Amino acid sequence: MNNEHIAKLRLFNRFYTSVIGLLDKQYLNSEFSLTEVRILYELAHHPEGMTATELVEMLGLDKGYLSRMLQAFEKKKLIAKRQSSADKRAFFLSLSTEGNKLFAGLNDASQQQASDLLSSLGDAKAAELIGHMDAIRNIFENLTINKK
């Protein structure tokens, strides 16, 4: 692989993580990390519930790391657990009422962050940026599909 391409990809990754605050210990001025917010996002978008195993597989997380985060969420009453009728060892996780309220605020903050960033570009540059982002996503999605 071309070393210059590798260097430019890594440079872009470092740049972009700073632009959207991914390196901040507390994402979106909350008490939560990016990984924690992503877990809340997935649970919010799967209201029927997800198992911890499904989260591990979907996000590629370490089981122990996820377990500690889920315990913290449970302690804060952000998630609810429902035992599977098919497998008594499995539990479906979903956001509690409190968890849904918290996620709604985080989602609004993320929406505002994206809006502010795109607004600063103007319509033409924002459209150009989104076009490039779509192209990048398509390339990586095809790569992922081809790996399976």
Record the tokens describing residue 38, joined without a space: 């992503």
Residue from 75, 89, 81, 10 nearest 36 by CA? 75
- Sorted by where each starts, the structural domains of the chain and their CATH numbers stand as 3-147 (1.10.10.10)
Helix-, strand-, coil-residue percentages of the chain, each rounded to 5: 70, 5, 25
What single-letter amino acid sits at 92?
F
Per residue in 55-96, pLDDT (tens digit) is 999 999 999 999 999 999 999 999 999 998 888 889 999 999
pTM, entire model: 0.86
Instruction: List, for residues 104-138, the tens digit of each pLDDT value.
Output: 999 999 999 999 999 999 999 999 999 999 999 99
Contact 52, 63 (CB under 8 A): yes
